[in-house]
């Protein structure tokens, strides 16, 4: 297995695609997750969004990418459209969580946010390996998906704890 300190684990996707669920699973599995200590007021997600202010500002101010070298060996959420702003000086393992358009729209509507836009362009560049994690499969079989993510990251994560951190929902 690769040493975790050699790369940054990035969990990405469009809003409401399950990035926070996967980050919660990674934290349960033993991987340190970079996230703001206080949830935003009025957040409807019971466990929080695992937002990290410096990563949310990547597209506004490229000098905010200085935090990336301190993220080696850790996991952080970077929204899909912000992947292009990650420093090419680091290696990344990107777990890209996606939902069907119907699932994503339903999640947005259940929060009263209206229609969602879908990010279709995932950057393919050197130093950025990507694994697609389908949200429906993540909730239908968290154990299998946790094992898949741990294998992709080549990290000795507690797959059982990761699976236990995810709600189990049957695919329809």
Domain membership of residue 29 (yes or no) is yes
Is there a domain that residue 81 lies in?
A: yes
- What is the pLDDT averaged over residues 89-98? 90
Q: Are 36 and 53 in contact (CB under 8 A)?
A: yes
More confident residue, 16 or 111: 16
Closest CA to 26 of 53, 56, 54, 47: 47
The Cα–Cα gap between 123 and 84 comes to 7
Q: In terms of residue numbers, what domain contains 104?
A: 4-164
Domain of residue 149, CATH code: 3.40.50.300
pLDDT above 90: percentage of residues in the chain: 34
pLDDT at position 50: 84
Better-predicted residue by pLDDT, 60 or 72: 72
Q: How many CB atoms lie within 10 A of CB 50?
A: 23
**CA-CA distance, 146 to 14, in Å (whole number)?**
20
Total tally of structural domains belonging to the chain? 1
pLDDT value at 153 more than 80: yes
pTM: 0.69
Average pLDDT, the chain: 79
- Give me the pLDDT at residue 9, please: 96
Give pLDDT, residue 101. 54
Residue 154 lies in a domain: yes
| pLDDT class of 115 with cuts at 50, 70, 90 | very low
Question: Is a pLDDT exceeding 60 seen at residue 170?
Answer: no
DSSP per-residue string spanning the chain: ---GGGSEEEEEESTTSSHHHHHHHHHHTT--B---SSPPTT--STT-----HHHHTTTT-GGGGGGGGGGTTSEEE--GGGGGGS-TTS-EEEEEEE--HHHHHHHHHHTT--PPP--------TTEEEEEEEHHHHHH-HHHHHHHHHHHHT----HHHHHHTSPP----
The mean pLDDT of 69-91, rounded to a whole number, is 90
In a domain, 171, yes or no: no
User: Domain for residue 100, yes or no?
Assistant: yes
pLDDT band at 104 (very low <50, low <70, confident <90, very high): low
Is the pLDDT reported for residue 172 higher than 90?
no
């Amino acid at each position: 297995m690769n040493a975790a300190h050699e790369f940054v684990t990035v969990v990405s996707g469009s809003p409401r695609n399950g990035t926070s669920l996967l980050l919660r699973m990674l934290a349960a599995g033993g991987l340190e997750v970079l996230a703001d200590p206080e949830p935003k007021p009025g957040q409807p997600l019971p466990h929080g969004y695992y937002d990290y202010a410096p990563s949310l500002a990547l597209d506004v101010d490229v000098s905010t990418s200085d935090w990336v070298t301190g993220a080696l060996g850790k996991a952080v959420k970077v929204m899909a459209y912000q992947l292009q702003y990650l420093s090419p000086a680091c290696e990344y393992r990107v777990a890209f969580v996606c939902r069907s358009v119907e699932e994503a729209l339903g999640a947005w509507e259940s929060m009263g946010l209206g229609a969602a836009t879908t990010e279709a362009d995932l950057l393919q560049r050197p130093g950025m390996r990507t694994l697609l994690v389908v949200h429906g499969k993540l909730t239908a079989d968290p154990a299998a998906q946790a094992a898949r993510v741990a294998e992709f990251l080549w990290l000795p994560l507690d797959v059982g704890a990761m699976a236990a951190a995810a709600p189990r929902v049957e695919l329809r």
